[in-house]
């Protein structure tokens, strides 16, 4: 179990050590070197301000926004959310300056686009320098699968049968593209426009591909953008989060109401138009980048490291074989398929709490009170609700005319290991609904807080 969680975490400051399938045209180390040295903002992979703050061992200030400040004060609890941070209070970094606390550009985005929320400043005092290992939710597939197999008895026989049928149907419908992606990962290139169109068609059958697609484009934009806005972010040691937010909202109607990447599937022509609309210079190279990068990431996240990517085919494969060969993909598909079940509101806490407990245990052993989204150190950082060796305090805050935050009133609340609710109503594959969450806080010796999920759902 510990090895699986280790595999799902990335330290961008050290050489790559993760096992990967054989026959890939490029190793993870090759890609790391390429992105760090070829992309204008690649140096931020290793040297972001957030990474420096973590490894300093000094107190950290983080921003959380909530619509539920009155409920937090009444309950004296802060509830954590699931998604890309598994089970943590979703935050963004704050930098202490003479004028006040300066929000990370992600925090600025959240406050500007959610004007009815209350900003909360949290101070985390760690017991030691924090390892800069972030969790990569794209690598959680094998864990999703293991948790499902352990608690499959929570489903009725009919539910289990329906899940198997749905997963197998999706895999068989997308098998041609999945095989194409593996061929590309092993160096047999497909024309980029054709690859993008096949990818877009396959997302409806394998929703996980929508997440891969979006994360590849987010990486492309953040690392390669050269606009004045992006340069200003880089000078502060930050990747520009506004870029992928604009992409998501331009690509999918209603994404601002529900951030669901299973609906992200632009075809080639739309993709180029979307990227050119954000930064014209990045349009010509985007399709080729997606073809190469997504193929590599698909092989790495879908297949068991013991497999040879050149010998795997999804065409006609059965579920038993695929659970052995591609546990990452199977777990990601099962994880998302359960979201469409009529009883998901009941099943949610069973499966999600099981994962959160394991993540909390791993973070405790590894000395990680503040896990972050480790696909890239872009500023999505959380607070672990059951870390026993750090102190946490919280205040409501006000923003001045120059954008700096100032703590106003301490919030008498603690982080608690409750998961904010997230569920999909029956039959609602294309439009899922969130139940407003109550967030969790953590110190037994101090007060409690609760809040609402922000950020990308995983």
Q: State the pLDDT confidence band at 422, using cuts at 50, 70 and 90.
A: low
Confidence of residue 444 (pLDDT cuts 50, 70, 90): very low
Instruction: Give the per-residue SS3 of the chain.
Output: CHHHHHHCEEECCCCCCCCCCECCCCCHHHHHHHHHHHCCCCCHHHHCHHHHHHHHCCCEEEEEEECCHHHHHHHCEEEEECHHHCCEEEEEEEEEECCEEEECHHHHHHHHHCCCCEEEEEEEECCCCCCCEEECHHHCHHHHHHHHHHCHHHCCHHHHHHHHHHHHHHHHHHHHHHHHHHHHHCCCCCCHHHHHHHHHHHCCCCCHHHHHHHHHHHHHHHHHCCCHHHHHHHHCCCCCCHHHHHHHHHHCCCCCCCCCHHHCCCCHHHHHHHHHHHCHHHCCCHHHHHHHHHHHHHHHHHCCCCCEHHHCCCCCCCHHHHHHHCHHHHHHHHHHHHCCCCCHHHHHHHHHHHHHHHHHHHHHHHCCCCCEECCCCCCCEEECCCCCCCEEEEEEEEECCCCCEEEEEECCCEEEEEECCCECCCCCCCCCECCCCCCCCCCCCCCCCCCCCCCCCC
Model confidence over 273-294: pLDDT tens digits? 999 999 999 999 999 999 999 9
pLDDT above 70 (res 311): yes
pTM to 2 decimal places: 0.92
- According to the model, what pLDDT value does residue 1 have? 83
- Residue 163's pLDDT is what? 97
The reported pLDDT for the residue numbered 258 is 79
pLDDT at 434 over 70: no
Does the structure show a pLDDT above 80 at 205?
Answer: yes
Give CA–CA dist 340/375, Å, rounded. 26
pLDDT for 438 equals: 32
Residue 180 has pLDDT above 70, yes or no: yes
Determine the Cα–Cα distance for residues 179 and 202; give it in Å rounded to an integer: 12
pLDDT confidence tier of residue 86, bands split at 50, 70 and 90: very high
What average pLDDT does the segment 54-73 reach?
96
97 pairs with which residues across the strands? 100
Predicted local distance difference test score (pLDDT) of residue 142: 98
Mean pLDDT of 266-274: 98
Categorize the per-residue pLDDT at 133 as very low, low, confident or very high, splitting at 50, 70 and 90.
Answer: very high
Question: How far out from the chain centre does Cα 66 lie?
Answer: 20
pLDDT for the residue 349: 87
Tell me what the mean pLDDT of segment 349-353 comes to.
Answer: 92
Per-residue pLDDT, 44: 98
Instruction: Quote the pLDDT of residue 8.
Output: 97
Task: Count how many Cα atoms sit within 13 Å of the Cα of residue 419 in the half-sphere of its side chain.
Answer: 23
Whether the predicted pLDDT of 402 surpasses 90: yes
Instruction: Please check the confidence at residue 443 and state whether its pLDDT lies above 60.
Output: no
Q: Which pLDDT score, from 0 to 100, does residue 337 have?
A: 94
Q: Which two tokens stand for residue 420?
A: 């904010």
Q: What is the pLDDT of residue 345?
A: 85
pLDDT greater than 70 at residue 450: no
Q: CA-to-CA distance for 8 and 135, rounded, in angstroms? A: 6
Within a 13 Å sphere around the CA of 391, how many CA atoms are in the beta-carbon half?
6
- Range 36-49 average pLDDT: 98
């Amino acid at each position: 179990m510990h090895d699986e969680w280790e595999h799902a975490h990335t330290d961008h400051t050290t050489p790559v050590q993760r096992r990967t399938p054989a026959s890939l045209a490029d190793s993870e180390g090759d890609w790391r070197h390429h992105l760090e040295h070829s992309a204008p903002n690649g140096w931020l992979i290793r040297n972001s301000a957030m990474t420096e703050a973590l490894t300093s061992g000094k107190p950290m200030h983080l921003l959380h926004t909530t619509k539920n400040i009155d409920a937090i004060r009444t309950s004296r609890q802060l509830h954590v959310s699931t998604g890309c941070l598994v089970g943590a209070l979703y935050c963004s970094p704050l930098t202490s300056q003479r004028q006040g606390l300066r929000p990370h550009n992600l925090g600025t985005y959240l406050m500007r686009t959610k004007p009815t929320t209350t900003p909360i400043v949290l101070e985390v005092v760690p017991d030691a320098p924090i390892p800069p290992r972030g969790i990569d939710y794209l690598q959680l597939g094998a864990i999703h699968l293991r948790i499902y197999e352990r608690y499959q008895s929570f489903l009725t026989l009919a539910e289990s049968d329906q899940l198997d049928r749905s997963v197998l149907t999706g895999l068989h419908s997308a098998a041609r593209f999945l095989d194409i992606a593996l061929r590309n990962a092993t160096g047999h290139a497909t024309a980029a426009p054709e690859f993008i169109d096949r990818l877009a068609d396959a997302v409806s059958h394998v929703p996980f591909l929508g997440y891969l697609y979006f994360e590849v484009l987010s990486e492309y934009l953040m690392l390669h953008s050269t606009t004045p806005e992006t340069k200003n972010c880089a000078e502060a040691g930050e990747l520009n989060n506004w870029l992928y937010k604009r992409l998501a909202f331009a690509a999918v109607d209603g994404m601002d109401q529900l951030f669901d990447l299973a609906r992200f599937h632009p075809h080639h022509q739309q993709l180029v138009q979307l990227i050119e609309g954000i930064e014209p210079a990045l349009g010509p190279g985007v399709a080729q980048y997606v073809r190469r990068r997504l193929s590599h990431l698909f092989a790495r996240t879908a297949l068991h490291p013991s497999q040879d990517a050149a010998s795997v085919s999804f065409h006609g494969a059965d579920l038993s074989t695929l659970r052995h060969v591609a546990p990452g993909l199977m777990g990601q598909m099962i994880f998302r398929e359960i979201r469409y079940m009529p009883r998901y509101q009941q099943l949610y806490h069973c499966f999600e709490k099981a994962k959160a407990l394991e993540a909390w245990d791993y973070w405790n052993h590894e000395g990680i009170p503040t896990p972050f989204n480790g696909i890239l150190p872009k500023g999505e950082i959380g607070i672990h609700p059951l870390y026993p060796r750090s102190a946490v305090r919280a205040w409501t805050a006000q923003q001045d005319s120059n954008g700096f935050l100032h703590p106003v009133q301490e919030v008498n609340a603690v982080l608690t290991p409750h998961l904010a609710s997230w569920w999909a109503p029956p039959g609602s594959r294309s439009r899922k609904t969130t139940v407003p969450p109550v967030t969790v806080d953590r110190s037994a010796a101090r007060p409690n807080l609760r809040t609402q999920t922000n950020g990308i759902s995983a």
